[in-house]
Amino acid sequence: MRKKIRQELKKYHFEWKHLLVLFIVLIIFQLIVSYVNKVSLHRLLEETQNWYKKDSAEKIANLTTTSIELLIETNPPSEHYSHEQEQKLIQAFNIIFSQQILQQNVLKVCLVGRYGGHYYAIDNGQDLFHLFYYRPPRFHAGLQQDSAAIRLYRSLEQKLREEEQIISVEKNQIFQVLVPLVPRGEFFGAMYMRIKPDFGFITEQITSNYDETALIFSVLILFGLLAMFYISSYTVHERDATQRLLFEEREKYLKEHIARQKETLFTKRIYHTHHKAEKIMGFIKEDLRDLNAENINQIKYRVTKYANFISRVIYDMKWYDPPLQTIRNPMFRTDLNAVIRFIVDAIFKRTSRDLQHVRFDLQLDEQFPTVSINEFVIWEIIEPLIQNAIDHCGKEQVTIRIETAYFPEKKHGLVRIEDDGRGILPELLEKDTQGIRRLFLENISTKEEGRNTGYGCYLSYQIALKCGWKLDAYNRTSAGGACFELFVPFGGRQNFQQGE
């Protein structure tokens, strides 16, 4: 069972770093929320408690004052009281004082006033009875003088006499309350109470409940996040499985599509070279018919080249994409000038023997080094470019100039094939998004575009790329006509400058 659960969890990539991130985010978020809520809660409690403490203290003091006033109202000083009645009134006053002192929050209760120019603070029933029922009062000798109560009363006496309103003063969470004592409309002073209300247990209870709520809230958030993570992981797992199937299907389709494209390109390449092979076979037959003792060496050399080219064509029929080492290899030491001369003399001058309007001008640099490219691959690059100059010159008389140049300081060479015809249409020299001129795209030609046109320049461009060379085309600005340039690097690819 455990093994099954472990395997199920492994499918969702449930790692501890995910939990750690969740915990950190949760803790930071909860700390911030808790801090803000606690500050707000404490401020609310403090303001509420201050108001309630003041109200509670004033109510206690007012109740005590009212009790004394009612007692005096029911026992008017004008009547004569026996000794037993006096003791009952003194006991009633003492009960009023003692009941308030017994409360936990009450620190001091006394009657503060002034008589005969002297301030007094009475906190017992006997002195209070003498104040109300004897004239002059017969205070006992040890009557206390509470300095704090008397100082406060003296500072507020005038206000108490004029307004006859309860006055509260708060300092260090201790409330001092003065309630005017006015029995039968006569101002005797003020009932003074010093009270320290304590609501700490309420604050602790509220804080404790808040902490419990915050803990439960945090746990619920955590389990909610874990549930969301589990659900999202399950959803992602299902999505990944679906995407994997989609990618596999897409990969299968792309492989089939690429295979069909390769087969199509292979077929077009064979079609393109087939008529060249037929033309070369015609040259071989013609040379064999003209063979004699005087030209045997010349024909032998030409037929050998022709036969090797036919072999290369047959070899290319075996591959969609020929191996790179059969195109460029350090074993090859090809004289580029010799290949150009052979193509011009043994191919184009034979086919254009009756075409007097074509003239070749070879300007070959004898210092041009050998290249590590198969000579028949070079043949497949250069031959379509020369043929393009002949087919699309648009003139009765055309001169095709072929030039090679080597720049040892820049470590690259240049092959330039140009004519003095009408040039290349401007729209064919435009570049696509990949920087390739439209002339070098498949099925693009100056003739009517179709399935069997526009493949010569495209083939030359693609083969040049496999050789590590760069092919470019432009129109000459001075003499007119088209120009093809092959950039041949030695020891690394260099920047190609047009017309260099």
3-class DSSP string for the chain:
CHHHHHHHHHCCCCCHHHHHHHHHHHHHHHHHHHHHHHHHHHHHHHHHHHHHHHHHHHHHHHHHHHHHHHHHHHCCCCCCCCHHHHHHHHHHHHHHHHHHHCCCCEEEEEEEEEECCEEEEECCHHHHHHHHHCCCCCCCCCCCCCHHHHHHHHHHHHHHHHHCCCEEEEECCEEEEEEEECHHHCCCEEEEEEECCCCHHHHHHHHHHHHHHHHHHHHHHHHHHHHHHHHHHHHHHHHHHHHHHHHHHHHHHHHHHHHHHHHHHHHHHHHHHHHHHHHHHHHHHHHHHCCCCCCHHHHHHHHHHHHHHHHHHHHHCCCCCCCHHHCECCCCCECHHHHHHHHHHHHHHHHCCCCCCEEEEEECCCCCCCECECHHHHHHHHHHHHHHHHHCCCCCCEEEEEEEEEECCCCEEEEEEEECCCCCCHHHHCECCCCCEHHHCCCCCCCCCCCCCCCHHHHHHHHHHHCCCEEEEEECCCCCCEEEEEEEECCCCCCCCCCC
CATH number of the domain residue 425 falls in: 3.30.565.10
Residue 279 lies in a domain: no
Residue 483 lies in a domain: yes
| Residue 35 forms part of a structural domain | yes
* The last residue of a domain, from among 198, 215, 242: 198
Domain boundary among 162, 183, 198: 198
Domain assignment present for residue 301? The answer is no
pLDDT in tens, the chain (500 residues): 666 666 655 555 545 566 667 667 777 777 787 777 777 777 776 677 667 667 777 777 777 888 877 877 777 776 677 778 878 888 887 887 777 776 767 788 888 888 777 788 887 878 777 777 777 776 665 565 667 888 888 888 888 888 888 888 888 778 888 888 888 777 878 888 888 776 666 667 777 777 777 777 777 777 776 777 677 677 767 777 888 888 889 888 888 887 777 777 667 666 666 667 778 888 888 888 888 888 888 888 888 988 888 887 777 766 666 788 888 888 889 999 999 999 998 888 876 555 567 889 999 999 999 999 988 889 889 988 988 888 877 777 888 999 999 999 988 999 999 988 888 888 888 888 888 888 888 766 555 444 444 577 888 888 899 899 999 998 987 767 899 999 999 875 444 343 34
Note whether residue 406 is domain-resident.
Answer: yes
Q: Which of 198, 230, 265 is the last residue of a domain?
A: 198
Query: Do 190 and 44 fall within a single domain?
Result: yes
User: What range defines the domain where residue 397 resides?
Assistant: 324-489
Q: Is residue 53 part of a domain?
A: yes
CATH number at residue 96: 3.30.450.20
Q: Are residues 188 and 329 in the same domain?
A: no
Q: Establish if 274 belongs to a structural domain.
A: no
Number of domains, the chain? 2
